């Protein structure tokens, strides 16, 4: 499988694609932010971080890392 290159992985994580994704824990569908290492997505709610495996974001609460269990979407100010 020579098609699994970093370039191909990056193509699946372009801004327009990230905008389509949403934190499954949030009712308000905040946009997700790619980390500097491009290995995880952070929800704007500040509560969850979602892993990216083989270039594919895993938007499952069971797979998410809870960053701040006290974060509440209602407290987020844009």
Binds Zn ion by CB under 5 A, chosen from 32, 40, 41, 43? 43
Q: Which is nearer to Zn ion, 29 or 53 (CB)?
A: 29
> 38: left (phi > 0), else alpha (psi -120 to 50), else beta?
left
Q: Which is nearer to Zn ion, 13 or 26 (CB)?
A: 26
Q: Is the separation of the CB atoms in 34 and 44 below 8 Å? A: no
Distance between alpha carbon 73 and the CA centroid of its chain, in Å? 15
Please report whether residue 64 would count as binding Zn ion according to CB under 5 A.
no
Residues that bind Zn ion (CB under 5 A): 23, 25-26, 43, 45
């Amino acid at each position: 499988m020579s098609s699994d290159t970093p370039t191909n992985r990056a193509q699946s994580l372009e801004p327009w694609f990230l905008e389509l994704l949403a934190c499954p824990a949030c009712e308000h569908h905040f946009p997700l932010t790619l980390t500097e290492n491009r290995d995880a997505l952070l929800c704007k709610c500040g509560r969850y971080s979602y892993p990216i495996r083989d270039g594919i974001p895993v938007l499952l609460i069971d797979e998410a890392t809870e960053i701040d269990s006290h974060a509440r979407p209602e407290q987020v100010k844009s």
